[in-house]
Amino acid sequence: MAVGGMFCLEKLPPPEPSGGRASGGIVDKLGGEDRRFCMSGRCAIYYCLRDLMQRDTKRVAYLPAYTCETVAAPYKKAGYELLFYDVSPENLTSRFNPELIPRISVLALCGYYGFSYYDREFVARCVDAGVSIIQDITHSIFSTDGIETLADYNAGSLRKWMGIPSGGIAVKRRGKFSLPLLPPEEAHIRGRLDCFAEQERVLNREPDASEEQVEEIFWETELRLRRIFDVYESDRFSAELISRYSWEDLFQKRRDNYQYVLSQAPFSSTVVPVFPELGEAVCPSHLSLYSPDRDAAQKKLESLGVKSTFYWPFHGECSLSDFPGASYVYDHIYSLPVDQRYSRESMAVLCGALRELGNSM
């Protein structure tokens, strides 16, 4: 595959000559008064909820209808009633209902693919009304406007950004977390490492390695996590990587790749970018597109050497007939990598594949 596929295991950056951590690392960017490294994003969100539950007896959460099962599951496990808000297909803009503010006790907030198009005035109104804010930063962690400082908690995962066994991060912006984390669940960590090792073998073209085996290991590990997740801590390697990783190069490389694709304009009426402009604050996680027949589009791209993904299958916690924007997004969106692994030449391959896709649909 010329473009796409899972990450290999990240290498630790060299330590500073003084023995300290390089400035500008991920931890510095997060801010907040207390930060914990967790085994996954869902573990991090659940950890924040467990902390919040000590003062939240109302327990009614307001979630985006377009979201991952990973986000909904911790709220369900914590016993929250779930209400949902729609998103517009244009820029994935949140459609909040101000009339629900008196009913809810927590707003689940997020941006998508690095772009944060939500109403910040609505967030401020929630805060003024005593509603707690938990922001999922999985998609926005590296954008310069991606950390909502009005939130009580920021939580998410780095697994879409780099090859890391435990990507979970939980931030309490004011005060300290009151509960301990559980030790990392070793079987899950082993599965993640096995997945990275198999991907390395695929890239080295070892004869018995295959993308199918990578996918099999990944999904066996992921589905097990969905059954057993709790407030699990990160493994030591991942915590050290997060502590030492300098994010500025990642920020610039992804922006350069995304901007190059936009400059080449490889789109059409049937291959439509979800975000056709790249704001100065944005660090894109992917290039996301709409096509009328997503399955056909993904198969065509794969035949041209470009592997895509779609985030996410519908979580099933609401009726999509009530959320037409989210319904459209679920049926049509898919995403291509523009990450730090790829050169300008790789992005040219991606652009050529998009042009051919547009001509064939």
Burial class of residue 60 (count of CB atoms within 10 Å of its CB; 0-12, 13-18, 19+): middle
Q: What's the average model confidence in pLDDT over 261-276?
A: 97
How far is Cα 68 from Cα 229, in angstroms, rounded to an integer?
15
Structure token digits, residue 201: 């073998």
How far apart are alpha carbons 283 and 236 in whole angstroms?
Answer: 27
- The pLDDT, as a whole number, for residue 255 is 98
Tokens of 219: 């999904």
Which residues, in sequence order, are CB contacts of 246 under 8 Å at separation 6+? 13, 22, 23, 24, 25
Helices (runs of H) and strands (runs of E) counted in the chain:
11, 11
Spatial CB neighbours of 237, under 8 Å, sequence gap ≥ 6: 12, 165
CATH class name, domain 248-360: alpha beta
Tens of pLDDT, residues 304-356: 999 999 999 999 999 999 999 999 999 999 999 999 999 999 999 999 999 99
Q: In angstroms, what CA-CA distances link 125 with 52, 117, 151, 171? A: 19, 17, 12, 22
* pLDDT at residue 23, as a whole number: 44
Asked if the model's pLDDT at residue 14 lies above 80, the reply is no
Residue 315: C-alpha distances to residues 38, 72, 261, 318 (Å): 23, 8, 31, 8
- Rounded to the nearest 5 degrees, what angle is found at the Cα of 225, between the Cα atoms of 222 and 228? 160
SS3 per-residue string spanning 17-33: CCCCCCCCEHHHHHCCC
Q: How far apart are CA 310 and CA 323, in angstroms?
A: 19
Of 34, 12, 9, 39, nearest in space to 25 by CA: 12
SS3 246: strand
Asked whether residue 236 carries a pLDDT value surpassing 90, the answer given is yes
Q: Among 12-16, 223-227, 240-244, 328-332, where is mean pLDDT lowest? A: 12-16
CATH of domain 26-172: 3.40.640.10
pLDDT of 16 higher than 80: no
Whole-Å CA distances, 319 to 85, 103, 148, 153, 301: 11, 20, 29, 28, 31
Distance, C-alpha 6 to centroid of its chain: 14
pLDDT, tens only, 191-227:
999 999 999 998 888 988 888 999 999 999 999 999 9
This prediction has a pTM of 0.94
Alpha-carbon separation of residue 14 from 8, 87, 134, 246, 252 (angstroms): 18, 42, 34, 11, 20
pLDDT of res. 245: 87
268 bridge partner residues: 271
